[in-house]
Amino acid sequence: MKLPIKIVFIAFLFSCGNTDKELETVKPYEGPTEEMADMVLYRSESATKRVKLVTPLLQQFANGNQEFPKGVYLEFYNEEGQLKTTLKANEAKYFKEEDHWRGRGDVVIKNVETKEQLNTEELFWKPSEERMYTEKFVKITLPDQVLYGTGLDAKQDLSEYTIKQPEGEFYLDE
pLDDT tens digits for 55-73? 999 999 999 999 999 999 9
β-strands 91-95, 72-77: how paired? unpaired
Write phi, then psi, for 153 (nearest 5 degrees): -130, 125
pTM of the model: 0.77
For residues 14 and 139, the model is more confident at 139
For 96-129, the pLDDT digits (tens) are: 999 999 999 999 999 998 899 999 999 999 989 9
Provide the residue ranges of all domains of the chain, joining segments of one domain with +. 32-167
Report long-range pairs for 100-103 (Cβ below 8 Å, ≥24 apart).
Answer: 100/124, 100/125, 100/126, 100/127, 101/125, 101/127, 103/72
pLDDT at residue 1, as a whole number? 47
Q: What is the overall mean pLDDT for the chain?
A: 86
**CATH, domain 32-167, list 2.60.450.10, 2.60.40.10, 3.20.20.70, 3.40.50.880:** 2.60.450.10
Distance (Å, whole) CA 57 – CA 1: 64
Is residue 75 pLDDT above 90, yes or no? yes
Among 85, 63, 87, 62, residue whose Cα is nearest residue 74:
87
